[in-house]
Amino acid sequence: MFTWLFTIIAILLLVLIPFAPQLVRLRIRILRWLHWHWAVNLLEQHFQGWVVFFRVMLFLLAILMLYIGWTQ
């Protein structure tokens, strides 16, 4: 049961990798709504770096989920 769960989560994480720029823009929109202008400025100034960071993190989480799913 849990093997399939980890595999499905890993596939969903891999599907989200191309949508990292939209996820960062969503995060900027939410932070702007919360009036956290310092965080919005930080994300906007280093947008490409944050997109690369989120893509790497999603990929590493997917690998971790696949590894956990295969070892169970």
pLDDT at 71 over 90: no
As a whole number of angstroms, the distance between CA 19 and CA 31 comes to 19
Q: Where are the domains of the chain?
A: 2-71
> What is the pLDDT of the chain when averaged over all its residues?
93
pLDDT bucket at 38, cuts 50 / 70 / 90? very high
pTM confidence score? 0.85
Phi, psi dihedrals of residue 34, rounded to the nearest 5°: -80, 0
- Tokens 């790497």 found at: 56
- DSSP per-residue letters across 9-55: HHHHHHHHGGGHHHHHHHHHHHHHHTT-HHHHHHHHHTHHHHHHHHH
Enter the tokens of residue 30: 């939410």
